[in-house]
């Protein structure tokens, strides 16, 4: 088991409690990624095993599902004629995926926060989320359900228009082709807008990881509050990793295509296993970079730079980055500050005017 021992700091597991968030430094996408790489320097080897385990457990259900059912996702006929043992194995695989998704997301978040804050971590950090299973599963369940509802809200209109257009074409009204084309535009627009909307939930696991006693619902609500007017900024950061994410997932989907069209055999299974292993290795490294960058974003917008900071200090702190600079200095160097982009996001609901004014008077 590999470990990383922090040179400074109070050690793992110490987090500010009480949910006191404040606005601080907003970094550009380039600065955020630069800080992430700096904090990962010298820690790649120690962090990789934990990241590898998380990715392996996350992707394993898809791997086994592809072996059990190699048909294409839209091949309903093949699924109807599946044997009972195949169906039972698929149920077990998908149940495992659902029951572990929240804990693995929490473990991943905790690992990235510890890397950023120079805290101790080890391979066992990959299982951290299971020690807070209720909070982890609740946060995943709420964010997943809300995200699905948003997708349905903005995608169903396009699907309804598509059905209408298809019906018109079947009845000989070729003007339905216009509706079909319009429906595709509606669906694409709906997907893009939904991706933007669900950015409001992306900080929920970071907030939950920092507040062990906070309920899942409060963590999601706090994420919505602090992400006001910041969703596009986080979306730009995520899109900057799009090429890396495609690179990580390409081998896996190539293997799925091979199984779908060539069928399951010894040769295709071996090829798929090799491609799956390549995906896990690539994802383990890329997700470290991606996750620590998101941790930098979270720390920048909340001002939660140090693990030893107490809730009272957090609530009493001023929203300006200048007064926060001493706390931030442990992680961020002066050249990383976005000096021309320090406008604070909307004040969260849990920060009162009295607290803000007392901070300004100091």
- Between CA 109 and CA 289 the distance in angstroms is 12
pLDDT profile of the chain (362 residues), mean per 10:
43 34 63 93 95 95 79 48 78 93 96 93 95 96 96 92 88 83 93 94 95 93 92 94 93 87 82 93 95 93 58 37 39 44 44 44 41
Closest among 300, 295, 303 to 351, alpha carbons compared:
303
State how far the alpha carbon of 209 is from the alpha carbons of 23, 132, 170, 174, 307, in Å. Answer: 19, 9, 54, 55, 11
Looking at residue 189, what is its pLDDT? 94
The encoded tokens of residue 212 equal 């062990």
Looking at residue 81, what is its pLDDT? 59
Composition of the chain by helix, strand, coil, percent to 5: 70, 0, 25
Looking at residue 294, what is its pLDDT? 95
Sign of CA dihedral 142, 146, 147, 152: positive
Query: How big is the chain by its Cα radius of gyration, in Å?
Result: 23
Alpha carbon 323 to its chain's center: 30
Q: Say what the alpha-carbon torsion angle 307, 310, 316, 321 is, to the nearest 10 degrees.
A: -10
């Amino acid at each position: 088991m590999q470990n990383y021992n922090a040179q400074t700091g109070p050690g793992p597991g110490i987090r500010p409690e009480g949910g006191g968030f404040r606005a601080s430094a907003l970094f550009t996408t380039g600065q955020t990624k630069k800080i992430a790489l700096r904090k990962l320097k010298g820690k790649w080897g120690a962090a990789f095993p934990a990241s590898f385990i998380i990715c392996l457990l996350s992707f394993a259900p898809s791997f086994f599902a592809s072996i059990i059912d190699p048909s294409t996702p839209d091949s309903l006929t093949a699924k109807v004629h599946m044997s009972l043992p195949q169906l039972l194995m698929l149920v077990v695989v998908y149940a495992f995926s659902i029951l572990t998704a929240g804990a693995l997301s929490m473990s991943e978040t905790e690992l990235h926060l510890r890397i950023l804050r120079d805290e101790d971590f080890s391979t066992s950090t990959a299982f951290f989320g299971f020690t807070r299973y209720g909070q982890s599963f609740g946060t995943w369940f709420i964010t997943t359900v809300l995200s699905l509802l948003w997708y349905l809200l903005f995608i169903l209109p396009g699907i309804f228009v598509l059905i209408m257009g298809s019906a018109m074409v079947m009845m000989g009204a070729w003007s339905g082709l216009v509706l079909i084309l319009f429906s595709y535009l509606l669906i694409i627009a709906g997907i893009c807008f939904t991706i933007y909307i669900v950015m409001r939930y992306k900080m929920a696991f970071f907030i939950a990881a920092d507040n062990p006693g906070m309920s899942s619902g409060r963590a999601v609500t706090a994420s919505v509050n602090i992400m006001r007017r910041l969703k596009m900024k986080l979306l730009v950061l995520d899109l900057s990793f799009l090429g890396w994410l495609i690179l990580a997932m390409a081998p896996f989907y190539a293997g799925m295509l091979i199984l779908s069209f060539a069928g399951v055999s010894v040769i295709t299974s071996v090829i798929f296993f090799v491609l799956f292993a390549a995906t896990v290795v690539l994802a383990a490294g890329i997700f470290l970079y991606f996750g620590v960058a998101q941790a930098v974003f979270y720390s920048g917008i909340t001002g939660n730079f140090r693990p030893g900071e107490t809730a009272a200090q957090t609530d009493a702190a001023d929203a300006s980055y200048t007064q926060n600079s001493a706390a931030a200095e442990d992680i961020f160097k002066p050249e990383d500050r976005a000096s021309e982009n320090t406008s604070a996001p909307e004040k969260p609901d849990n920060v009162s005017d009295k607290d803000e004014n007392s901070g300004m008077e100091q």
